[in-house]
Amino acid sequence: MRRGATETVVAKLADYEQSDLPERTKAALRYVDRLTSDAWQVDRRFDDELRRHLSDDELLDLGMVAMFFNGWQRLIDAFGITPDRWRDGDALPFGPLTGPATQA
């Protein structure tokens, strides 16, 4: 199984609702968008939609990972933390992933 996102998939994320991504992927993205927005509550209708595509375990796993990274980013932003040796305007301190995880 291929892991990671291709440039083509990443480009679709900006307007995923109008993309040709699978409905399961769109449901997962809607969920993460909801959890990380100001309107973070999951009502019955939204819950029913999510459960058509994702299991309880998948919702829990995705929710925990999304909120960990969301919280981590808020902490970084709160303290103005940047990666070592990187300053605004510099090239990013990392490049595209290469190696076994990105191979087909």
Pair 35, 63: CB distance under 8 Å: yes
Smallest CA-to-CA distance from 33 within 19, 51, 18, 14 is with 14
pLDDT, one tens digit per residue, over 11-66 is 999 999 999 999 999 999 999 999 999 888 889 999 999 999 999 999 999 999 99
| Mean pLDDT to the nearest integer, 90-94 | 67
The pLDDT value recorded for residue 55 is 97
Predicted pLDDT at 34: 94
